[in-house]
Amino acid sequence: MSANIISLLYEATLQTLYMVAMSSIIGTIFGLPLGVFLATSQKGEMLSAPTVNRVLGLLVNATRSVPFIILVVAIIPFTRAIVGTSIGTAAAIVPLTVAAIPFIARLIENAIRDVDSGLIEAARAMGATPFQIIRKVLIPEALPGIMLGLTLAVVSLIGYSAMVGAVGGEGLGDLGIRYGYQRFMPDVMLAVVVILVVLVQLVQSAGERLAARVDKRAPRNRGQ
């Protein structure tokens, strides 16, 4: 493999990491409060707003049901309005983020709903407000599940980032298509696949370690 190809692989890997990192951060900023609201706003719950909950739930489900490659094409006008172009790394971040927000929201909603209802009732009995319960009970108790959910989201975004290379995005997917497929260079395609597998393994391992570290129920080894 030539030095030029190695340089292209390095640059494409950085582009992929940038796309995934930015879409993960922005997706979490919007997806976290959305997921918390969905988990606490059904009828009779702390932030009871059943109509809003149903509308947001429908929007989340509708966005998640659209195949990612179709979503990328469908929101091209929105992407152009945000970043001024529909190709390149910056443009790829927009559909990645749009796909990440509802996905992260549902994962966080599920993590919040897994919290023992007895803890919520105990906090209510002590006079805690809904927002105090969310901040001091729900999120801390759901943190291991949230971490695992975010890990799953990042892994999915790595796959999406490779897919977006087919429609003008940069990164490893674009490199694999242009060199590995169109120029019949199987060594480049193999290198791209190996790098993606390594990235996924690293993210998965790191996420599981962080989840275990913040899990209050996990046994701790003492005196080591």
In a domain, 17, yes or no: yes
Q: What is the pLDDT of residue 221?
A: 45
In a domain, 223, yes or no: no
pLDDT surpasses 60 at 189: yes
Rounded to whole angstroms, the Cα distance separating 214 from 192 reads 33
Backbone dihedral angles phi then psi of residue 216, each to the nearest 5 degrees: -70, -20
Number of domains comprising the chain: 1
Mean pLDDT computed over 144-171: 90
Average pLDDT of the chain to the nearest whole number = 90
Q: What is the pLDDT of residue 87?
A: 86
Express each pLDDT in 56-79 by its tens digit.
Answer: 999 999 999 999 989 999 999 999
In a domain, 115, yes or no: yes
In a domain, 221, yes or no: no
Express each pLDDT in 93-142 by its tens digit.
Answer: 999 999 999 999 999 999 999 998 888 889 888 988 889 999 999 999 99
Scan for tokens 């900023």, then name that residue: 29
- Percent of the chain topping pLDDT 90: 67
Q: What is the pLDDT of residue 224?
A: 40
In a domain, 72, yes or no: yes
Instruction: List the one residue out of 109, 100, 97 whose CA is nearest residue 138.
Output: 109
Phi-psi region of 2 (alpha: psi -120 to 50; beta: other; left: phi over 0): beta
Q: 116 vs 201, which has greater pLDDT?
A: 201
CATH number for the domain spanning 90: value is 1.10.3720.10
74 lies in which domain range? Answer: 3-214
Mean pLDDT computed over 164-183: 84
In a domain, 127, yes or no: yes
Contact 37, 163 (CB under 8 A): no
Mean pLDDT computed over 178-200: 89
DSSP 6-62: HHHHHHHHHHHHHHHHHHHHHHHHHHHHHHHHHHH-STTSTT--HHHHHHHHHHHHH
In a domain, 24, yes or no: yes
In a domain, 220, yes or no: no
